[in-house]
Amino acid sequence: MEPQSASLPVSSAPRHPPGLGDLLQRAQAHDRDAFRAIVAACQARLFSTALRLMGQRADAEELAQDVFVQLHAALGQLVDAAHLEKWLLRAIYHRCIDRLRQRERQGQAVPLEALGDAPEGHAPESGADPLAASHLYQLLMRLQPDARAVVLLRYQDDLDPVDIAAALDMPLNTVKSHLRRSLQWLREQCAGDSHGY
Amino acid sequence: MDIELRLREILPLRDPGAAFTDGVMARVAQAPAVSADAGVVQLSEARARRRSRRILLATAVVIGAAAAMPAYFLGDGTDGPGATAAVALVPGGATDSDPDVQVPVQAVFSAEPLGAGQSPPNCIDPDVLRGLLLPGSGVTFRVTADAPPELDGFKPPRQLGWVGASERGAGTMAQSTVSAVYRSTLTPEAARNAAIGALTAAGWKLHATGNIRSSSVFAAVNMQIGDTYCRDGKQATLTASGLEGVTWVVLSIPRNADRNSGLSLACNNPPQAISGTDSTLDAYLPQLELPRDPATGGPVIALGGGGGINSDTDRRMNVSFTLKDSVDNVARHFAGQMAQQAWRADASWSGAGTAGSSWTRQVNAGTVLLGTLGVSAFDEGRFTVVFHVVRTK
């Protein structure tokens, strides 16, 4: 189900890494170890978002790495840890959307319906019904990328709608609309309906 | 089970592992080496894209340097400290000018070996230039391969490679500006010193250092205030700026500048008239760098800007640029720099189209500077930032 290899561990990294502000200040002073620590602290979050937007690990790794390289060049403009996190989320989102559109133009779009059936398997969370989890994941991957990004930031990253709107440069009402319609559609689908959103 | 809870359960964070981290660090370590080698930080993915960007940036340097010469508008004769020292990168008032002359600019690429399968463009598209760099402006912009005759006798040192010359406003304005552009692998300071040596040898004399620089708040690569040199009534302004690993040296020379054109050359005024600014205020002005464009990794290009010296105790500076970002983020970008330069935050606001903050800075026991930083967002990602500062005593 989820396009990942079995070697991918579930991250134990906190979603809001402590000390990120200090690391940022040190990285801005050209401390490479600090920048490495920033990458290590944020890579799970960025990679997970890219993986679930792109549906392919290779793409996700490439795009996430691109964003970190871009971040290194842009360190000087970041104010604090919150700014850094928002910058990263916005960058990965726009990169993924750009890549998806590029694929679409080139006729290389990965059918979203196929993403949920990727052959690499899924490691269900303990306590979760594997079949139900797989089914829900497949449904999630059928959401349009914009809507999927909103859902990911809400339930993967625990961001509230205001922060999602800021991170994705999206009007707050659009974020709320995506969330409401996505959840409604997912509920309907889990109840047996088969229409897409 | 509720759908929201189930979503949280199936969306754990996945760590790509240490190999991913190593990959990022390897790429980061590689970037400066490439920069030093090729003179360009590899921020774009395609070489062709980089070259296009370089053309535009080089052109922006030319335009900015040409327009950033200290200009003293005589107006109604209020010359002196109370007069406004305007630095206008994008003069208003579009005209129905003749189309720009498209001149081959092969010289721009002379120091850049072309990659396989690449061919140089025949000209800089004036529509692209106008759209990206001079939106709304009808000012003509010509690029030529010949050095301006005003620089007769100027022999640039070998470290400065000839790029070309541009003339801005020719044929449509009473006064135009011609700029000679050189590129170098030297640092900006070293390149500037090399150019100064050649200027001095050719009989040019330093008239004034960029005193307006002290009252320039917004720092953009294409918006520098240079030193003024004079020779036989002619004026040249020298700037040297580093941009993506390349140093650009620009000599800007006004043409047809006389009282009839409404523009007075600095060379026709005594140096002390130029430096009539209040050091107590100017010395404490913040230096604010423009944001970087996340799409390119490079600095945004200033589309316009300037400043006014309203009185000894009052300055107002502004700059415009385009950026795909929120007004709140842009305001935060500048606010962060204010805080780093010993300014104390007083209040801030953020709305749909404007954001800003107010600041104070204690100069001494009896003197406080009050600053207001305002950011306004317009259509298509265009921002205008205004910094207004007053001295209380």
Q: What is the mean pLDDT of residues B201-228?
A: 66
Identify from A53, A72, A80, A172 which residue to disrupt to test chain B contact, counting B C-beta atoms within 10 A and taking the largest count. A72
Q: What pLDDT sits at residue B255?
A: 79
Distance CA(A2)–CA(A117), nearest Å, equals: 8
Judge whether residue B308 has pLDDT over 70.
no
Residue B370 near residue B390 (C-beta atoms within 8 A): yes
Q: Which chain B residues are Cβ-neighbours of A86 within 8 angstroms? A: 329
CATH number of A118's domain? 1.20.140.160
- Counting residues of chain B whose pLDDT is more than 70, the rounded percentage is 53
For residues B373 and B386, what is the distance between their CA atoms, to the nearest angstrom? 6
pLDDT of residue B299 exceeding 80? no
Chain B contact for A192 (CB, 8 A cutoff): no
Confidence band of B307 (pLDDT split at 50, 70, 90) = low
Residues in A closer than 8 angstroms to B332, CB to CB, are 79, 83
Rounded CA gap, B17 and A44, in Å?
8
Least Cα separation, residue B43 to chain A (angstroms): 7
User: Quick one: pLDDT band at residue B314, thresholds 50, 70, 90?
Assistant: confident
B332 shares contact with chain A (CB less than 8 Å): yes
Measure B162 CA to nearest chain A CA, in Å.
29
Do B13 and A11 count as a contact with CB atoms less than 8 A apart?
A: yes
For residue A133, what are the contacts with CB-CB under 8 A and spacing of at least 6?
A1, A122, A124, A125, B6, B9, B10
pLDDT, greater one: A124 or A163: A163
Chain A's closest residue to B24, CA to CA, is: A65
- Whether this model's ipTM surpasses 0.95 comes out as no
CA-nearest of B274, B278, B277, B275 to B367 is: B278
Three-state DSSP state, B74: coil
User: Residue B215 has what pLDDT?
Assistant: 44
Query: What is the structure's pLDDT at B291?
Result: 87
- Assign B183 to helix, strand or coil: strand
Helix (H, G, I), strand (E, B) or coil at A79: coil
> Which one is predicted more confidently, B261 or A95?
A95
How many domains, chain A? Answer: 1
Question: Could you tell me which of B341, B13, B48, B65 has the C-alpha nearest to residue B228?
Answer: B65
State the best of B2, B13, B328 to mutate against chain A, taking most chain A CBs within 10 Å.
B13
Residue A155 to residue B8, Cβ atoms within 8 A? yes
Given a cut of 70, is residue B202 above it in pLDDT? Answer: yes
Q: Could you tell me which residues are beta bridge partners of residue B388?
A: B316, B372
Name the CA radius of gyration of chain B, rounded. 23
pLDDT, residue B56, reads 56
Cβ neighbors of B360 (< 8 A, separation 6 or more) are B343, B344, B346, B368, B369, B370, B371
Q: Would residue A2 count as lying in a domain?
A: no
Best interface-test mutation with B: which of A16, A77, A88, A138 has the largest number of B CBs within 10 A?
A: A77
A15 located within any domain? no
CA pair distance A140, A137, nearest whole angstrom: 5
Say yes or no: A72 contacts chain B, CB-CB below 8 A. yes
Query: Which among B10, B15, B294 is the nearest to A11, CB-wise?
Result: B15
What is the chain A residue with the closest CA to B326? A169
Is the CB of B326 less than 8 angstroms away from the CB of A169? yes
According to DSSP, the β-strands at B288-289 and B218-219 are parallel
Q: Closest residue of B to A190, CA-based?
A: B3
Counting other chains too, the contacts that B204-210 makes at CB distance below 8 Å and 24 or more residues apart are B204/B154, B204/B229, B204/B230, B204/B231, B204/B236, B205/B229, B205/B230, B205/B231, B207/B235, B207/B266, B207/B267, B207/B271, B207/B274, B208/B70, B208/B266, B208/B271, B208/B274, B208/B275, B210/B70
Q: Tell if the CB–CB gap between B11 and A61 is shorter than 8 Å.
A: no
Contact in structure between A67 and A47 (CB atoms under 8 Å): no
Q: Write the DSSP assignment of A13-50 as a string of letters.
A: S-SS-TTHHHHHHHHHTT-HHHHHHHHHHHHHHHHHHH
Q: Is residue A174 over pLDDT 80? A: yes
To the nearest whole angstrom, how far is the Cα of B35 from the nearest Cα of chain A? 12
Whole-number Å distance between alpha carbons of B238 and B194 = 11
Question: Are B307 and B71 a contacting pair, CB within 8 Å?
Answer: no
Amino acid in position B220 = A
Q: What is the pLDDT of residue B100?
A: 33
Question: Is the pLDDT reported for residue A125 higher than 60?
Answer: no
| Measured distance between the N- and C-terminal CA atoms of chain A, rounded to whole angstroms | 20
Residue B373, helix vs strand vs coil: strand
Q: Which residue segment(s) compose the domain that A57 sits in? A: 20-190
* Backbone region of residue B135 per phi and psi (left: phi > 0; alpha: psi in -120 to 50; beta: other values): beta
Taking the alpha carbons at both ends of chain B, their separation in whole angstroms is 67
- The predicted structure's pLDDT at residue B331: 93
From A2-6, B21-25, B322-326, the region with the lowest mean pLDDT: A2-6
So what's the pLDDT on residue A36? 93
B139-188 residue pLDDT tens = 555 667 778 888 888 988 888 888 888 777 655 555 677 888 888 888 77
Asked whether the predicted pLDDT for residue A4 surpasses 50, the reply is no
B377 contact residues in A (CB cutoff 8 A):
none
Residue B136 has pLDDT above 70, yes or no: no
The answer to whether residue A182 sits within a structural domain is: yes
More reliable by pLDDT, A16 or B161:
B161
CB burial readout B243-278, b (16+ within 10 A) else e: bbbbbbbbbbbbbebeeeeebbbbbebeeebbeebb
**pLDDT exceeds cutoff 90 at A38:** yes
Q: Find chain B residues with C-beta within 8 A of A151's C-beta.
A: 7
Residue B282 · residue B307 · CB < 8 Å: no
Q: What is the pLDDT of residues B57-112, one digit of tens each?
A: 555 555 555 444 443 322 333 333 222 222 222 222 222 333 233 333 323 322 23
- pLDDT confidence tier of residue B279, bands split at 50, 70 and 90: low
Q: What is the pLDDT of residue B309?
A: 60
What pLDDT, on the 0 to 100 scale, is given for residue A183?
A: 92
pLDDT tens digits for range A60-103: 999 999 999 999 988 888 888 888 988 999 999 989 988 888 87
Coil vs helix vs strand at A2: coil
Pairing type for strands B227-231 and B205-208 reads antiparallel
User: Residue B370 has what pLDDT?
Assistant: 93
Interface contact A74, partner B, CB < 8 A: yes
pLDDT band at B391 (very low <50, low <70, confident <90, very high): confident
Residue B297 at interface with chain A, using a CB cutoff of 8 Å: yes
The chain B residue lying nearest A183, using CA atoms, is B3
pLDDT tens column, A40-63: 999 999 999 999 998 888 889 999
Residue of B nearest to A187 (CA): B3
Give the residue carrying structure tokens 């109604």: B76
- What residues contact A120, with CB distance under 8 A and at least 6 apart? A2, A3, A4, A5, A6, A57
Quick count: other Cβ atoms within 10 Å of Cβ B346?
A: 12
Size of interface A-B (CB pairs under 8 A): 142
Task: Judge: B28–A69 Cβ closer than 8 Å, yes or no.
Answer: yes
User: Secondary structure of A86-141 in the HEC alphabet?
Assistant: HHHHHHHHHHHHHHHHHHHHCCCCCCHHHHCCCCCCCCCCCCCCHHHHHHHHHHHH
- Residue B45: band (very low, low, confident or very high) from pLDDT cuts 50, 70, 90: very low
Chain B contact for A35 (CB, 8 A cutoff): yes
**Cβ of residue B82 closer than 8 Å to a chain A Cβ:** no
Phi, psi of B84 (to 5 degrees): -85, 130
B291 has a chain A CB within 8 A of its CB: yes
- In angstroms, the separation between the Cα of residue B220 and the nearest Cα of chain A is 14
Measured from the Cβ of residue B115, the count of other Cβ atoms closer than 10 Å reads: 9
Q: Which residue has the tokens 């391969």?
A: B145
Its pTM stands at 0.39
- In this complex, the residue of A61, A90, A186 whose CB is nearest that of residue B3 is A186
Contact predicate B269/B207, CB 8 Å: no
**Residue the block writes with tokens 């370590």:** B29
- The A residues from 130 to 189 touching B (CB cutoff 8 Å) are 132-133, 136-137, 140, 151-152, 155-156, 166, 169, 183, 186-187
Q: What is the mean pLDDT of chain B?
A: 67
- Please, what is the average pLDDT of chain A? 78
**Assigned domain for A178 exists:** yes
B10-38 as b/e, with b when 16 or more CB fall inside 10 Å? bbbbbbbbeebbebbbeebeebeeebeeb
Taking contacts as CB-CB distances below 8 angstroms, the residues of chain A near B294 are 70, 74, 87, 90-91, 94
Give the Å distances, CA to CA, from A170 to A94, A161, B296.
12, 10, 21
The answer to whether position A4 is within a domain reads no
Task: State the Cα–Cα distance between residues B47 and B37, nearest whole angstrom.
Answer: 14
CB contact (8 A) between residue A128 and residue B6: yes
